[in-house]
Structure 1
Amino acid sequence: MRKVSLLALVWVLIAAILPARALEAPLPMDQAFVPAIAWQDDGRLAITWTIADGYYLYRDFLAAEDESKQPIALQTEPGTVKDDPGFGTTEVYYQKVSAWIANAPQTVRLAYQGCQDGGLCYPPTTRTIDTAAMTISKPVGGFAFAPAKDARPVEAPDTGFSIEADGGETAVDRLMTGGGLALLLAGFLGFGLLLASTPCVFPMYPIVAAMLTREGEGLTAGRGFVLASAYVLALASAFGLLGIAAAWSGQNLQIMLQSPVAIGVVAALFVLLALSSFGLFEVKLPAAIGNRLSGGRQKGGSVGAAALLGLSSALLIGPCVTAPLAGALLYIARTGDIAVGALALFALGLGKGIPLIIMATIGGKTLPRAGAWMERVRHVFGFAFLGTAIWLATPLVPERFLLLPWAVLALAFGIYAGAFDGLRPTRGYGVLARLTAVVSLIWGSLLLVGFGLGASDPLTPLGPLKGTASGGQTATIQKSDFTKVGSAGALSSLLDTAAADRQPTLVYVTADWCVTCRTIERSVLTAPDVVAGLSGVRLASLDVTTLDAENGALMRSLAVVGPPTMIFFDPSKDEAPGTRLVGEITSASLAEAARIAKSGAQ
């Protein structure tokens, strides 16, 4: 049996996803980009930015307007062409740059945006110039995604809408104000516990269980506790570090981890773990490292291996945006307080892992010991790993073929579990195993039929037949009912149309790779109370499957960390207070937010 280095797999995983180098802590925006003004001999107003080393300004985002918000022509010089990871090919300025305004009025509102090279991107920032007094106001805007909590609502240049006044106040702010760091850590630990049963955390359970089965007869309650604790501590540490990397890179955690390369690498890792569970080869640490970390133990479930597995498993949890995660990222980005944000994320990851530690401690007494049962258990976890790989790779598979891999997996498990082993009498676990095998075989067959019918939802493989029988008249809200907006201008125009009809507007931030979004579209948007609640509400969607300059700028203007996020606007083009929904969204919460938005529009 061949041996594959787990350390090598994890390094490949990290190299494919994390930034290539560590970055210095980003400067406050008014230190990274320092503007100065002066009158020229020809009567033009010159605006010159001194740009710190390692930072740059975007030419496309330089803009000016007068006091009545009428655009002012801004003359700019050519910049350096840059292939920017967030905005594509664009022109930028380094070191120093000037722009000029002819016939400048007394009040000029100046907007600009810049980034740390290879690091954080700042939000669009507005400063007011008084040409009579020759003064420049302090920046209006925050450190990153959201406005400062003591600032007035920020209206980014040319957006024509505004977010809620407390959009910059996060769960971190509230907990720190209420009880300091101790309450913050306790609160985020509790948030993690509440999120431990969500779909993104579920794959961790078979991972830990499979890790424990490798211990064989040496597995005890104490050993299970030690292994699971090492796994969870590494997972929580990686969670905090990934949050810092996301804040410094200017990208949100999901966008970093949900590139096709990252998804493919993580899915491939789980395929390898599955093949290892089936006995094709053994995944373990190199002997020298494994002996040191595990005190000479040669078992695949060493403490060091558990920690490395926890490190890589954090990449599964990271892509799921939740309200606490969004709050921590916004806090880091706005204040630059990396330590507090990292501790909050560590506590969040630790809370998600506590049920795993409990499961491992109890499992140390109950999991079967070495023998035929042990091999069967390892094989079952191999199927679980394959299911995780399929689940992860779903965004990479064309919708038409989504049911095919699930059908093959269900049929294979049904055959393995003994659906065709004859009708000999069975007792106890044998009856349960036979029943599981038959159900899996039937379900796999239904999935195969659903694939032939063109279905794409594994939970409703015969859905196309239902639609045909009912004439397709069932009242639901589909993703296609949302008008796509990919820029601030497009959203502003849609809000203008809704305002003319005195309608509130729902902006739904989504992406093809967002697993929670698919759950919302299948189970939440189709709920009767949601369909009724959203009647009379204009529906718009911001798809960030592929991040470009325009939709990235719109995300920042909306103070959005990532999908799924829902924002309601009233007919005045202002965010309806108390209606923003982030992460796991229920039909009850969405219906209530719609009710509040509609009542405010009357």
Structure 2
Amino acid sequence: MTSRFVALLALLVPLIAPAEEELLAPEEAFRFSLEATGPDSVRATWEVADGYYLYRDKLDFKSETEGVSLGEPSLPPGKVKNDEFFGRVETYRGQVSAEIPIERAAGAPDSLTIDAGSQGCADLGVCYPPHRQKATVRLASAESAAASNARETLGGAGGGSFGGEDEVLDPDVAFVFSTVVVDGNTLVARWDIEPEHYLYRDKLNFELRDSDGVSLGTPRIPAGKEKNDEFFGRIQVFYDEVEVRLPLNRENLEPTDVMLVAGYQGCADAGICYPPMKKEAVLELPAGTATASESDSESESTQAEPAPITPPSDEPLSEQDSLAQSLATGSTTLVLGTFFVLGLLLAFTPCVFPMIPILSSIIVGQGDGLTTRKAFTLSSVYVLAMAVTYTVAGVIAGLFGANLQAAFQDPWILSAFAAVFVLLSLSMFGFYELQLPSRWQSKLSEVSNRQQGGSLTGVAIMGLLSALIVGPCVAPPLMGALIYIGQTGDPWLGGAALFALSMGMGAPLIAIGTAGGKLLPRAGGWMDAVKAVFGVMLLAVAIWMLERILPGWVAMLLWSLLAIVSAIYMGALEPVHEGASGWRRLFKGLGVTLLIYGVLVLIGVSSGGRDPLAPLNHMRFAGAAGGAISAQPAHLEFESMKTVADLERAIESAAQKGQPLMLDFYADWCVTCKEMEKYTFSDPQVIAALSGARLLQADVTANDDADKALLKELGLIGPPAILFWDGNGEEKRNYRVVGFMEPEKFAPHVERAIGKQ
């Protein structure tokens, strides 16, 4: 690895390393739950986050239920630690459970609330103060007895057994319920589900009791796995675990207690179905913030929006959701083949195409020592590094909702990477031999040659950085795989699909790079000309990257200078002598054409133009008489918004007027977003289709906390994405658009989405 890339990586690493100051709240660092293990015992469990630990001697338990007393808890031994705060102590990491015997007086209630005390620390060296958490569990009662009888009846009818055993699990063991208070406005309900058991998605319901001034918002229930169930037909279910986020609407902003009642029903793969069950949990809410009450919030349970991969029969399935469904239900071989083909189609899009000159410059930089075999090896290493990076970044985005590529769109990173391209291009032109001290010349030449491909490590690093920096936009196949990973928590098939997609994107790169090993000239003037061409292409990639952070007029001026200077080097201003070769005349003609284009771009930027591909498009001449310049064509006008609260207010306001709404996600570093603005949002048919609709745009260029929260709220990873709501304030999820869509397709799509068709 060369010193230049070591320095660059040292610059990048802090941007992806977790900030040490961001500590978890104690409820998240030490998740507490309670379950009944029998008529006379309960089990208290803490799930301890990675990088945190609990002190054994700080755990204690108190019964909050009259008529139920607790015995001596049984705790496992902890790991001995010389702690900086308490000396020699025992600690727990990962998970710890305490078995607690109970004594129930006559007439005692069927539910038990335990107040558990704990104290823990983070490995960063921060120790939390003592913390108390409450949880409620229903004890064995007439309800559980009825459940047991029902299970015996079904089991005797041929329900089968679990893994060859005849024992039927108690429902409180099969489905362990727990709750977490995230903050004053958010609860999380969680079920840990035993193997070979599952919960029904549509049977989950929630209500609040004893909650003056606090009401339940719309539960955010994730999509489940589709199953042909013998009891309820085709339905969505949850295996292993499920977490439901419960937003709260607060009128009473003071700390208060509420009781959450969660209803659910589940079955076992062996053919045994449990009766509907309910759990109660008394929760201490901290102070909250004021929120508008949701119109659809009722005292009874409220279902989340339909799962994105199960649309109503009369609505289409969006492309990304269709791909997510194919991952969930299709043949693995067919799925991987499909994603490979989709990768081929993406290979020549604006977010991937610039990798061609990057790889080509690596191949050209080999000069006389290049062979076909070496060209194939270098191309393969570059593409494999790119594919692995795409796969890892995609799996991280699917599991955690963190867009790693967006973090690399920082102006400093883009500038550093563009500077690398400029250095490589200068070496292509041979500029390191001009007027530089010999020591500098040797060092720059050595570094440049290594980065051009002399080292496989350098090529791999270039592939890694290219994947993260050059192509950050989200496409439907990528989003489909991320939806699948996020919904199922299965990174393996989703990651394999992403790898197949990346290899499809890289296949043309391997072909082009390998062909370069056979077709490129070996020496002489031709080779110098070829290297100069790729030097210009590298400068073009550098400008293309800097367009994301530079003002439009500066970027356009750079394009103009590149075209004019390249034309001069091609001999546009030099005479063609008699007897000159046909190649010389061809270069002269191309140079003159490039010079004219550069001048037009210069005129365009001087007159307010911002599009280097159509530098004079902003000017329309009004007839021969006056030659006056009219205003530029009409374009959609968006309202800017930033936060989740902004969006909720806009949706509510539009729904009150019966007005449909469209939300566009944009970023300066998103090339496809700019394509949509340039070609689609300026089309008269699209403008007409969106007449009467409220238009919002979220600029997530900064990728700050507000941007991440908004994307996470809507289940997105990054731009480009366009979402629609109808006049009733309901999102038309199956009409989401991810990636570029031509105006001819977008206009009718809009009309269907907002109800004009």
When normalised by structure 1's length, the TM-score is: 0.74
Displacement of 1:553 in angstroms is 2.5
Report the equivalent of 2:153. none
Alpha-carbon distance in structure 2 between the residues aligned to 1:472 and 1:155 = 54
- Pairing partner for 1:361 from 514, 518, 542: 514
Q: Please identify which structure carries the higher helix content.
A: 1
Report the equivalent of 1:81. none
Does 1:430 pair with 2:584?
Answer: yes
**Which of structures 1 and 2 has the larger relative contact order (alpha carbons within 8 angstroms, sep 6+)?**
1
Change (3 A) 1:448 1:97: farther
Displacement of 1:98 in angstroms is 6.0
Displacement of 1:442 in angstroms is 1.4
- Contact 1:13-1:266 at 8 Å conserved across structures: no
Displacement of 1:193 in angstroms is 0.7
Structure 2 residue matching 1:508: 3-state secondary structure: strand
Structure 2 residue matching 1:402: 3-state secondary structure: helix
**Structure 1 residues without counterparts, runs of 5 or longer:** 38-47, 57-92, 101-107, 115-125, 291-298
Report the equivalent of 2:607. 453
Report the equivalent of 1:212. 363
Report the equivalent of 1:379. 532
Structure 1 residue matching 2:588: 3-state secondary structure: helix
Alpha-carbon distance in structure 1 between the residues aligned to 2:309 and 2:366 = 48
- Pairing partner for 2:571 from 400, 418, 425: 418
Alpha-carbon distance in structure 2 between the residues aligned to 1:94 and 1:128 = 32
Amino acid at match of 1:52: V
Change (3 A) 1:208 1:497: same
Within-5 A mapping of 1:118-517: 128=206, 131=209, 140-141=219-220, 147-148=223-224, 150=236, 165-167=306-308, 170=321, 173-247=324-398, 250-279=401-430, 280=432, 281-282=444-445, 300-425=453-578, 426-466=580-620, 472=630, 476-478=634-636, 481-517=637-673
Structure 2 residue matching 1:395: 3-state secondary structure: coil
Within-5 A mapping of 1:539-554: 539-554=695-710
- Contact 1:407-1:448 at 8 Å conserved across structures: yes
Root-mean-square deviation (CA, aligned residues, Å) is 4.1
- Contact 1:51-1:95 at 8 Å conserved across structures: no
Amino acid at match of 1:216: G
Report the equivalent of 1:52. 48
Change (3 A) 1:592 1:238: same
Report the equivalent of 2:91. none
Amino acid at match of 1:112: T
- Give per-residue Cα distances to partners, 1:51-88, cap 9 Å, x unaligned: 733589xxxxxxxxxxxxxxxxxxxxxxxxxxxxxxxx
Displacement of 1:386 in angstroms is 1.2
- Pairing partner for 1:112 from 172, 186, 203: 186
Alpha-carbon distance in structure 1 between the residues aligned to 2:628 and 2:725 = 35
Structure 1 residue matching 2:664: 3-state secondary structure: strand
Does 1:578 pair with 2:578?
Answer: no
- Contact 1:503-1:537 at 8 Å conserved across structures: yes
- Pairing partner for 2:743 from 581, 587, 590: 587
- Give per-residue Cα distances to partners, 1:386-414, cap 9 Å, x unaligned: 11111111122123423121122111111
Q: Which moved more, 1:396-405 or 1:244-253?
A: 244-253
- Contact 1:4-1:282 at 8 Å conserved across structures: no
Alpha-carbon distance in structure 2 between the residues aligned to 1:561 and 1:361 = 34
Displacement of 1:541 in angstroms is 1.0
Q: Which moved more, 1:360-369 or 1:384-393?
A: 360-369
Displacement of 1:421 in angstroms is 1.9
Equivalenced residues, count: 511
Displacement of 1:198 in angstroms is 0.1
Change (3 A) 1:14 1:30: closer
Displacement of 1:567 in angstroms is 0.6
Alpha-carbon distance in structure 2 between the residues aligned to 1:156 and 1:428 = 73
Alpha-carbon distance in structure 2 between the residues aligned to 1:596 and 1:346 = 34
Amino acid at match of 2:465: S
Displacement of 1:533 in angstroms is 2.0
Amino acid at match of 1:386: L
- Give per-residue Cα distances to partners, 1:557-583, cap 9 Å, x unaligned: 221211110011111111225310002
Displacement of 1:507 in angstroms is 0.7
- Contact 1:6-1:283 at 8 Å conserved across structures: no
Change (3 A) 1:315 1:553: closer
Report the equivalent of 2:717. 561
Structure 1 residue matching 2:734: 3-state secondary structure: coil
- Contact 1:505-1:537 at 8 Å conserved across structures: yes
Alpha-carbon distance in structure 2 between the residues aligned to 1:510 and 1:201 = 19
Change (3 A) 1:6 1:548: closer
- Contact 2:725-2:731 at 8 Å conserved across structures: yes
- Contact 2:224-2:487 at 8 Å conserved across structures: yes
Alpha-carbon distance in structure 1 between the residues aligned to 2:571 and 2:629 = 40
Amino acid at match of 1:449: I
- Give per-residue Cα distances to partners, 1:416-449, cap 9 Å, x unaligned: 1111221325443323321221122112212222
Change (3 A) 1:591 1:264: same
Structure 1 residue matching 2:723: 3-state secondary structure: strand
Amino acid at match of 2:48: A
Displacement of 1:601 in angstroms is 6.0
Structure 2 residue matching 1:523: 3-state secondary structure: helix
Displacement of 1:596 in angstroms is 0.6
Alpha-carbon distance in structure 1 between the residues aligned to 2:358 and 2:130 = 50
- Contact 1:404-1:448 at 8 Å conserved across structures: yes
Displacement of 1:331 in angstroms is 3.1
- Give per-residue Cα distances to partners, 1:298-342, cap 9 Å, x unaligned: x94454443332222212344111112222233333433233332
Alpha-carbon distance in structure 2 between the residues aligned to 1:582 and 1:248 = 19
Alpha-carbon distance in structure 1 between the residues aligned to 2:659 and 2:617 = 33
Alpha-carbon distance in structure 2 between the residues aligned to 1:16 and 1:419 = 47
Amino acid at match of 1:519: E
Alpha-carbon distance in structure 1 between the residues aligned to 2:657 and 2:525 = 69
- Contact 2:397-2:403 at 8 Å conserved across structures: yes
Alpha-carbon distance in structure 2 between the residues aligned to 1:567 and 1:406 = 34
Report the equivalent of 2:17. 19
Displacement of 1:264 in angstroms is 2.2
Alpha-carbon distance in structure 1 between the residues aligned to 2:295 and 2:532 = 55
Report the equivalent of 2:675. 519
- Contact 1:475-1:531 at 8 Å conserved across structures: no
- Contact 1:244-1:342 at 8 Å conserved across structures: yes
Amino acid at match of 1:332: I
Displacement of 1:231 in angstroms is 1.5
Structure 2 residue matching 1:547: 3-state secondary structure: coil
- Give per-residue Cα distances to partners, 1:240-271, cap 9 Å, x unaligned: 12224445664213422212233222222222
Structure 2 residue matching 1:419: 3-state secondary structure: coil
Displacement of 1:34 in angstroms is 4.2
Q: Please identify which structure carries the higher strand content.
A: 2
Larger radius of gyration: 2
Alpha-carbon distance in structure 1 between the residues aligned to 2:446 and 2:406 = 29
- Contact 1:196-1:355 at 8 Å conserved across structures: yes
